[in-house]
Amino acid sequence: MDNARWKVVDPLGNEIRLGEKNFRYHIIGSHDSKDAKVRAEIEPQAKFAVTRPRFIISDIQSPGRVKYLSLTKIKDDTKVYIRTISVVVDTNGEIVTWFARRTINDILEEGDVIYDAEYNDLPL
């Protein structure tokens, strides 16, 4: 495990961490300069998505991993776009990656939604 860039607790009480090496060499480093710049700029939103997600779902592409889903703003010159942000977290609580995209393309089966803020945050 590398040094933590930051650690937070998700709504389910799990500690989630972002490793410094993973941030530098995978989340930022393995992408072209424009994509890397956007990924770096949305780091605060990725952190927020883990602490206050709209959904936490099973990652159908990587069993055992989960995705924290939220919305974020992406600035591009004079425009601002609303995008879905997905933060992928491994079973050990390590953030694997994050990305913003135009649509939510996740296909779910019954039981794949682990947390839904609309229902979990309602007062009893």
pLDDT in tens, 80-119: 989 899 999 999 999 999 988 887 777 677 778 999 998 8
Task: Supply the pTM of this predicted model.
Answer: 0.87
Q: Which range marks the domain in which residue 14 is found? A: 4-120
Q: Kindly report the CA angle at 19 between 14 and 21, in degrees rounded to 5?
A: 165
Give the number of domains in the chain.
1
Counting Cα atoms < 13 Å in the Cβ hemisphere of 111 gives 0
Q: Is 64 left (phi over 0), alpha (psi -120 to 50) or beta?
A: left
pLDDT in tens, 1-48: 579 999 999 999 999 999 999 898 888 887 778 777 888 888 999 999
Per-residue pLDDT at 14:
96
Per-residue pLDDT at 124:
47
Whether the per-residue pLDDT at 70 is higher than 90: the answer is yes
Count the residues in the chain.
124
